[in-house]
Every structure is written in C-alpha cells, then in structure tokens.
Amino acid sequence: MATDTGEQRPKYQRIADDLKAAIESGEYGPGDRLPGESALAAQYEVAVLTARQALKILRIEGLVETKKGAGARVIEFRPIRRHGIQRLAREQWGAGKSIWSADEERPVTIDVRVDTVAAPAHIARMLDVEGSALVCARSRRFVLADRPVMLATSYLPLGLAEGTAIMRVDTGEGGTYARLAELGHAPAHFREEIRCRLPVAEEAEGLAMPLERPVIKLCRTAFDAGLQAVEVNEMTMDSAAYVLEYAFDA
C-alpha cells in the first residue's frame, strides 16, 4: 500500500518540509527572507509554480508572510501560550487581573461591543433560558502586535447582566467574572470544548488570515457554585497564533 512519505510526497510538499526544517533549526530566523520562487525552482529542479505552492504552504501554516515584490519572510510574531487552567483561577480575576494577563505580558488591543440579542438556540440551551430570551452579548476582537489573534463573544443571561457593569464596554478590574462574583454568581466550575475547522469568510476576514488555515474553536461555559450556567464564551482563534497549554497535577 502506498504511503505519503519520502519520494512519494508531492515535490512542493518536500520543498515546504525542507524550508520548515530550516526555520525550526534556526537557519532562517524571524524576519529573514527565504529563497525566492525562481531560486527554489532552480535548486530543486522544479517549475516555478511548484516552488510557489511550497511557499504557500508555509504562509497558510503561519510561518512566513509574503508581500508583493519582497518575497517570503519568516514571521517575527511569537505565538501566545494560553495557560488553559491557571488563567481561570479565582486568584487571577479575583485579584483584579485580566484573564489575558495570565497568558501574555505583551499589550493587547481589544475592540469591544456590547449588545442585547435574542439567544441563539444552542446558547439558550447551554444557559438554560427560553429560546426567545434576550441575553447580553459581549463581542471582542483581540489584536496583538498589529495582528488579530482571536474573536470572542460571551453570552450571559440578561437577568444577571442588565443594569450592571457587565453591560459596559469596560467592566472594570477583574473583568466579567469579578462582576459576577459581586452579584453572588462567582464562577466556580468551567467546561471547555475545543475543536478545529476551516474558518468561514467572516472569521478569516476578522482575523486577517487565509481561508485555508484552520481556526481553533473553543467554547467555555462558566458555572456558579449552584452549577447554574452564568456565561458561555465562544472563541475563534488563529491556530498559527496560539499554543494551548494545560499543566496540572496527577
């Protein structure tokens, strides 16, 4: 049975593999320019189109950026290391810190929009509200080093959020979870579901990324001590911008 390895791999894939290995070894560092299409075509004795396909793979995977007339350069962006457990600890948001600061010291720009919307059917089920119920929707776009990295929308029961700082663009120190704690509904338990898929056009546009690169879809539900769902947060992350890290004791 044929296998997709060695000489049986397409030529453009083998070129891409060689370039990825050179980037990982440090032969090409952040900001360095890779050989151009013509140089790669001559080196590997392939058509220019084949070399172009190899560079396209690197661009899709988020390893290089290409600009007309400037060729392909190794991206200087350092991926965000998302600490999946520590970031949600009460000592984080309970001390007035943002969840983001558990992952990153680099400054982030967050575009926030707060709306009152009819709960989407799946959100209504997760929040255990009627399908026609209104909910608070907090939509955010996170931009780090001039690069959009995540789109997120949090849904909260309107009965909890209405008339509180949760309905404001700036919720104050500790964010939404600190405000829920003040209301007697502090998050006590979380559930996260993670999957990957290709982005829809709106997601790719919002994240300024190729349609061919997968996104990480992460859905987190926060429950209070009585196991009432108090927030559902749907996140769409550029898969090339994140490393998901989970550290816990056995």
pLDDT at position 34 is: 95
Instruction: List 140's β-bridge partners, or say none.
Output: 112, 152
What confidence tens digit (pLDDT) does each residue in 108-134 have? Answer: 999 999 999 999 999 999 999 987 899
Amino acid at 51: A
- Reading phi first (left if > 0) and then psi (alpha if -120 to 50, else beta), residue 146 is in left
Residues 6+ apart with CB under 8 A from 223: 187, 188, 189, 190, 191, 229, 230
Bridge partners, residue 235, by sequence: 152, 218
What is the Cα–Cα distance from 166 to 128, expressed in whole angstroms? Answer: 19
Alpha-carbon distance of 144 to 126, in angstroms, equals 30
Q: Which domains does the chain have, with CATH numbers?
A: 6-74 (1.10.10.10), 80-245 (3.40.1410.10)
Read off the pTM: 0.89
Q: What are phi and psi of 65, to 5 degrees?
A: -120, 145
The predicted structure's pLDDT at residue 94? 87
- Strands 64-67, 108-118: pairing kind: unpaired
Residue 6's pLDDT is 57
121: its two tokens: 């059917």
Q: Identify the pLDDT of residue 177.
A: 95
Q: How many CB atoms lie within 10 A of CB 136?
A: 23
**Cβ burial, residue 187 (10 Å; 0-12/13-18/19+):** buried
* pLDDT, tens digit (0-9, with 9 covering 90-100), for 34-63: 999 999 999 999 999 999 999 999 999 999
What tens-digit pLDDT sequence spans the chain (250 residues)?
344 455 688 999 999 999 999 999 999 999 999 999 999 999 999 999 999 999 999 999 999 988 777 789 999 999 999 998 888 988 898 888 888 888 989 999 999 999 999 999 999 999 999 878 999 999 999 999 999 999 999 999 999 999 999 999 999 999 999 999 999 999 999 999 999 999 999 999 999 999 999 999 999 999 999 999 999 999 999 999 999 999 888 8
